[in-house]
């Protein structure tokens, strides 16, 4: 599905990846984080070759945080315990310190301590994504992978989530790799956008660069009816 | 059509079908006087069902049957390799736990021990009690013809301790806990929880499968088999007393003569192996669940059927083994 693809994410940037449904965006992300085996090629995250690092390698686990599309919170643990989980597994910390750090992460993503006691089944869609983001950030990773962070959220919640990503990017110096369909978040949050079509990256650059691209799929994507809001001056 | 005030897609399609049929018969018909707001609908309907769906190639039924047999042969071979892979993964996770005993998830082990062991006791004791009682009743009923009622104690004692006790308990555990394991792991798989775990650098086998689930099962099944065997002997004794008129003291004395520790050992040795088989099948089927609810149901069914089958096969293999070493 993905063939001869080369993509660099620069340190400290927010890169958005767009592509047709079923075009391999999620496959690409899951390959990068090692959930899908690749036939050939080379993947390096923060200077570490993924194939050479061992499963339990704390460097990899602590280096990245992953936000799955449906959140993938552990359903048997409360929200707070979910955020604590990476801390508990990778570090030796006292229970109270772990509680405090997890609470801090929950506050960072805009949740209260009361929300921390809820189980994933009791959380709304937006809250689930926030808890999942807090868990992804638990170990202060250098890079976070977000799979459709704003899908399934109403425009207000999606806008808030965009702001949150932007703020955390600035305060924590995060590098963000984001798979998305949301034109608004591409426009407001991403520093660079990469377009995936036919298994290759067909265009990469700032939003303005992509709007100028003449690849047929990219033109269809960024100049369709729904993207009029991106170029108010031309319409 | 001037008087038509409401028209839905169904009506528009029937109209279109009628005019198409008329056209085929050589009398082109036109629909006139449709209200303006329905002209769009009429136009749309005119375009539908124009193209015949590509007909599916009709397979030769014999070839299809052969193909199905071939596929299931390959999937049986795959089943064996999945089983062996899980056994290997458990072995390596077990070594990991032995090297770092602190990494054993004690809390979830206790939780699962409670789930599969403690909470299963009432139903297992009840069922094995009834099985023991039924065996004794049948034994007394038929042995009475030969005046050999007292041998019912041998029947109950040997049958229960060697075979039935552990087998019934293992089958019940496969249905009760094996299915739960498959469904739990399967829904975790569906919700990407297992993916999330591996991206955190943790081995799902080490976190979810070996220490909590398989070890709990391997510890719980022998205990349950023991309780089940005792309940079955008790059930047999109760029936012997009330139906066969054999006093408890005589029943116990005859039981002492009829059974030896060997019979008990033969039964109990099998229990942990059966637990391992149930656990491996349940967990590997759980991890094979795909995204749909249907596949969760299917894998759970497969898990229960396969583990009961393997438990019985294993019991047979043990019977051959014990017979040949003279136990």
Q: How much is the pLDDT for A56?
A: 46
Task: Determine, for residues B199 and A61 on separate chains, whether the beta-carbon distance falls below 8 Å.
Answer: yes
> Which pLDDT band holds residue B222 (cuts at 50, 70, 90)?
very high
Task: Determine, for residues B201 and A58 on separate chains, whether the beta-carbon distance falls below 8 Å.
Answer: yes
Sort out which chain A residues have CB atoms less than 8 A from B95's CB and list them: none
pLDDT tens digits for B122-170? 999 999 999 999 999 999 999 888 888 888 899 999 999 988 999 999 9
Task: Determine, for residues A90 and B201 on separate chains, whether the beta-carbon distance falls below 8 Å.
Answer: yes
Question: Which tops the pLDDT comparison, A153 or B23?
Answer: B23
| Mutate which: A72, A123, A137, A138, vs B, most B CBs within 10 A | A72
Closest-approach residue (CA) in chain A for B200: A61
B→A interface, C-beta within 8 Å: 187-188, 191-193, 195-203
Q: ipTM of this model?
A: 0.76
CB-nearest to A72 from B193, B202, B203 is B193
Max Cα distance, chain A (Å) = 59
Question: How far, in Å, CA of B77 to CA of B73, rounded?
Answer: 6
Q: How much is the pLDDT for B303?
A: 92
Q: Cβ distance B207 to B103 under 8 Å? A: no
The set of residues, in sequence order, having a beta carbon less than 8 Å from that of B69 and lying 6+ positions away, is none
Strands A64-67 and A143-147: parallel
Sort out which chain A residues have CB atoms less than 8 A from B196's CB and list them: 66, 68, 72-74
pLDDT at B252 over 80: yes
Mapping DSSP to helix (H, G, I), strand (E, B) and coil, where does residue B125 land? helix
| Mutate which: B196, B202, B213, vs A, most A CBs within 10 A | B196
Q: How much is the pLDDT for A50?
A: 67
Sort out which chain B residues have CB atoms less than 8 A from A75's CB and list them: 187-188, 191, 193
Neighbours of A229 (CB within 10 A): 10
Closest-approach residue (CA) in chain B for A31: B199
Give the C-alpha distances (Å, rounded to integers) separating A113 from A72, A78, A83, A89, A103. 20, 11, 12, 22, 6
Task: Determine, for residues B201 and A66 on separate chains, whether the beta-carbon distance falls below 8 Å.
Answer: no
């Amino acid at each position: 599905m993905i063939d001869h693809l080369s993509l660099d994410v620069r340190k400290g940037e927010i890169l958005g990846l767009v592509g047709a449904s079923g075009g391999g965006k999620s496959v690409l992300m899951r390959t990068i984080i090692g959930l899908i085996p690749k036939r050939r090629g080379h993947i390096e995250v923060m200077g570490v070759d993924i194939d050479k690092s061992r499963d339990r390698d704390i460097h990899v686990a602590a280096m990245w945080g992953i936000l799955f599309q449906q959140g993938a919170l552990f359903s048997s643990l409360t929200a707070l315990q979910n955020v604590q989980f990476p801390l508990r597994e990778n570090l030796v910390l006292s229970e109270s310190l772990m509680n405090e750090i997890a609470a801090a992460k929950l506050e960072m993503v805009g949740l209260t301590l009361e929300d921390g006691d809820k189980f994933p089944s009791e959380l709304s869609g937006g809250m689930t994504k926030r808890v999942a983001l807090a868990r992804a950030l638990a170990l202060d990773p250098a890079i976070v992978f977000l799979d459709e962070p704003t899908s399934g959220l109403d425009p207000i919640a999606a806008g808030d989530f965009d702001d949150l990503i932007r703020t955390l990017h600035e305060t924590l110096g995060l590098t963000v790799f984001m798979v998305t369909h949301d034109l608004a978040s591409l426009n407001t949050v991403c520093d660079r956008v990469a377009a995936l079509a036919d298994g290759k990256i067909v265009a990469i650059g700032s939003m303005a660069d992509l709007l100028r691209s003449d690849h047929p799929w990219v033109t269809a994507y960024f100049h369709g009816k729904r993207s009029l809001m991106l170029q108010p001056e031309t319409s | 059509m001037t008087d038509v005030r409401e028209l839905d897609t169904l009506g528009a399609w029937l109209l279109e079908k009628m005019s198409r049929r008329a056209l085929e018969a050589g009398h082109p018909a036109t629909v006139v006087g449709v209200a303006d707001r329905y002209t769009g609908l009429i136009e749309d309907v005119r375009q539908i069902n124009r193209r015949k769906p590509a007909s599916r190639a009709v397979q030769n039924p014999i070839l299809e049957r052969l193909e199905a047999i071939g596929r299931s042969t390959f999937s049986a071979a795959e089943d064996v390799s999945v089983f062996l892979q899980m056994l290997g993964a458990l072995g390596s996770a077990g070594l990991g736990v032995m090297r770092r005993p602190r990494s054993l998830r004690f809390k979830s082990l206790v939780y699962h021990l409670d789930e599969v062991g403690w909470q299963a006791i009432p139903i297992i004791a009840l069922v094995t009690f009834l099985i023991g009682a039924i065996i004794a009743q049948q034994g007394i009923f038929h042995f009475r013809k030969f005046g050999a009622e007292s041998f019912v104690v041998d029947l109950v004692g040997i049958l229960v301790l060697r075979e039935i006790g552990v087998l019934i308990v293992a089958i019940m555990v496969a249905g009760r806990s094996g299915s739960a394991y498959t469904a739990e792991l399967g829904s975790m798989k569906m919700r990407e929880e297992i993916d999330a775990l591996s991206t955190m650098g943790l081995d799902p086998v080490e976190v979810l499968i070996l220490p909590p689930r398989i070890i709990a099962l391997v510890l719980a099944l022998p205990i349950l088999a023991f309780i089940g065997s005792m309940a079955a002997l008790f059930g047999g004794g109760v029936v012997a007393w009330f139906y066969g008129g054999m006093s408890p003291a005589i029943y116990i004395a005859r039981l002492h003569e009829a059974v030896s520790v060997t019979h008990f050992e033969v039964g109990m040795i099998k229990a942990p192996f059966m637990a391992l088989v149930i656990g491996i099948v349940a967990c590997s089927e759980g991890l094979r669940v795909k995204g749909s609810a249907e596949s969760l149901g299917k894998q759970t069914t497969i898990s229960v059927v396969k583990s009961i089958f393997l438990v019985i096969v294993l019991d047979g293999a043990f019977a051959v083994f014990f017979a040949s070493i003279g136990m």
